[in-house]
Chain A
Amino acid sequence: MNLALSDEQEFLREAARGALSRFKTLEAAREALDGKDALPDLWPTAREAGWPGLLIGEDHGGAGLDVFDAMLVLGECGRVLAGVELLGHLPASAILSDAPAAAPLLDALATGERRAAYLPVSPPNDVHELWSTDPAHGFDRADAPSAVRDGEQARVSGELYFVPDAPDADLLVGVALLDGAPTGVAIEATAQGVSVEPTRRYDATRSLGHVSLTDAPATVLDAPEQSLAGAWHLAQALIAAESLGSVETALEVSVAYAKERHTFGRAIGSYQAVKHSLTEVLRQLENGRSLLYYAGWARSGCPEEFPLAASAARSVAGRALDFAARTMISVHGGIGATWEHDAPLYFRRAQLSRRLIGGTAGATDRVAGEVMAQAAA
């Protein structure tokens, strides 16, 4: 039994913290909300650190690490609201790594010379029987892209909304239904029939794009279906890790303020109401951390439980960040709800993150389906 971080993992995390500390990411996040082109380009830093190749094998120039290592990096990004475009790149690289046909694509992605974005298509569960995508608007899941064969290649059509990191991607990687069967596809972003419309919602640090595909030429990926579903769950685990990183900062900042701010002759953190709210943030954070360990272990240690582990982590982390951000605001009093403070930036991050890639609610529903399926087995 060993769920502790290895020395290498501690080092990876510290290095990520150090690398990101060179940028004023929070100031940039605030200014970007005003429409200024203020966000630092963090991709060169990511390349220097080797993050684009985290999940790509060493034979292709990657680091050959696993999801837990990637989650550590995402957690550090979340701590300072750094918009490093890994949420799209890493799940895409995971599908490609599982497809022998994609081998020639990997080297440039491992170094970060080229960027990939994952087109999120959710695998079926016990209620939704089809592969589906997030809709442009509203509540109902939308159809997965479809593909038709064209010689060795395929041609893909479909719409994908709010795709993380799509605007800067060179390669779009996802799932399309080819003769009704879920099939991995890789599409050059500059190819004919591809349009990526950058979009923004509420949190300026999050790069999003609407992707429209009309008979777009695609490389057919011979990745197994488990890998296609696995990319979805990987994205859930990564956004969970990123959210928990943000919870850490929200808690640290709130605790520090509760120790120094006095009312009625004593520090506000000595009042039970404030203390219990902050302890509740800690409780949710610790639950989320435990589930990150579960997800980190399950992806290779027990793959059949990875959907449960990653979805549970996503669900807890999403709700934890919302609670942590709201607590951060209320502990700081009125100033916490103004742009004088960083709390609104974490609040904005919490609100948007919970609605992307199937949403926290979708992850919670998948947990219910998974535990009932396990119990019936």
Chain B
Amino acid sequence: MDLEDTPQQAAYRAQVRSWLSQHAPEAPVIAGPDAITDEDELLAARRAWQGKLAEGGLAGVTWPKEYGGQGLGPIEQVICNQEIGRAKVPGILDAIGVGMLGPTIIANGDDEQKSRYLGPMLHGDEVWCQLFSEPAAGSDLAAVQARARLQDDGSWRLSGQKVWTTNAQFASFGLLLARTDPDVPKHKGLTMFIVPMDGQGVTVRGLRQISGEAEFNEVFFDDVPLAADAVVGGVGNGWTTALTTLMYERVTIGLGSEGLGYSSDRFAKAIAALADARRDPEVRKELGEIACDLTAVRFTGYRTLSALQKGQIPGPEAGLAKVTLVANAIKAGDLIADVIGPDALEDGSEWAYMISFLPGLKSAGGTEEILRNTIGERVLGLPPAPRLDKGVPFSELRAKEGAPA
């Protein structure tokens, strides 16, 4: 049992560290007093930095070499993330594209798609967004209603709405899950498309959250034309293709949760700074319990890495770590606001931002309730609740809900 790198991993770490120490001065400053404030300038700088990371082999670590990646494993990806964090430079801009959508195209796309899209994605020349969730299709993702209709010439027309779309405001392309056949059961009538975001009929609108910032977008599609070769993975195979993306999403979240910054160290520091609070039994009990759970999450991460190293893919139980992380960050924000008082809620305070961010994070990547169902069924083997949508054509389901399909 150990937490040390193997000699091979240590060598890789040294190589990454050396590249970063050489190139860190070229990285854009994105936080603090010297941060770039102009949004366009910031975006351009982050794109360029992603390009440099890609050239240095620090982006697409797990991508096959033939697509510009390094052909390495998830452990190397984690080492690379750790070193980027240690060097205090930004990571890649398009983590969603490179982490989840690129691998989906690698697994399901055709040769032309791979050669057209993967290179510019990896280098940050074209940013991507994920167009899966809809207002009425989140945890139950297969309920998507965005409708793509086949035209006589083999092209498609797309109408509908997507939501929770990070980076849509500057993305060049989106990977979109649409319904192409409403008259079959819902998982069967889906198809995955590549959608140009500058296409006619595409509208992107920022979605402001509790904090007031808009980290997500709503995206509207009004009779958007799509070429026949926009289909990824075959017509009617959209659900299988989406599952590839979701698997990579779990891995990305599982390996990236440290990056959220919800560590017991950070919260303990805030409490310890207040002499009365640090000796108060109730505060100590609360902080102690929070620290226990967040420390557990850290070691659950190491367990996940050990499993990955042995070639195992993390299962849904890794989702329990997300539940623990979010629940305890919420408790910590509450505790810190209790001990600091209203100043913790001042505009621009790190705590106000965190307190605002967490209620939404609780549902990100699937609500906690659905996650607990999945884990209860897949890990504990408990029977599923009876379902009313199995084998029923999507159009009939929609009719029962009183809405047109």
Which residues of A come within 8 Å of B, CB atoms? 1-4, 6, 68, 126-127, 251, 255, 258-259, 266-267, 269-272, 274-276, 278-280, 282-283, 286-291, 293-294, 296-297, 301, 308-309, 312, 315-316, 319, 361, 364-369, 371-376
Contacts and interface: CB of A to CB of B under 8 A. Distances in A.
Contacts of B385: 270-272
Which DSSP category, helix, strand, loop or mixed, fits chain B's interface?
helix
A141 B310 CA distance: 47
Closest 4 A/B residue pairs (Cβ): A287-B296, A364-B288, A368-B288, A290-B299
A361 B288 CA distance: 9
Interface string B373-394: 1011101111111100000000
A34 B379 CA distance: 38
Nearest to B5: A1
25 contacts: A1-B302, A1-B305, A3-B3, A3-B299, A4-B310, A126-B278, A127-B279, A251-B380, A255-B381, A259-B383, A276-B369, A278-B376, A278-B380, A279-B320, A280-B372, A282-B320, A287-B296, A290-B303, A294-B296, A294-B299, A364-B289, A371-B265, A374-B268, A375-B265, A375-B269
Interface string B248-291: 00000000000000001110110110000011010111011101
Given A2-B309, A4-B310, A275-B372, A282 B285 contact: no
A228 to B, nearest CB: 23
Contact of A372 (B271, B303, B320, B379): B271
| Candidate in B287, B289, B299, B385 with the most chain A CB atoms within 10 angstroms | B299
A176 B32 CA distance: 53
Given A272-B373, A361-B285, A376-B272, A283 B324 contact: yes
Contact of B375 (A127, A279, A297): A279
Interface of B: 1-5, 9, 75, 264-266, 268-269, 271-272, 278-279, 281, 283-285, 287-289, 291-293, 295-300, 302-303, 305-307, 309-310, 317, 320-321, 323-324, 369, 372-373, 375-377, 379-386
A376 B284 contact: no
A279 B380 contact: yes
A274 B289 CA distance: 25
B295 A312 contact: yes
A1 B373 contact: no
Contacts of A68: 1
Nearest to B309: A1
B287 A368 contact: yes
A22 B75 CA distance: 43
B295 A315 contact: no
A375 B268 contact: yes
B303 A2 contact: no
Nearest to B384: A270
Given A1-B5, A2-B306, A68-B1, A316 B292 contact: yes
Contacts of B265: 371, 374-375
B275 to A, nearest CB: 11
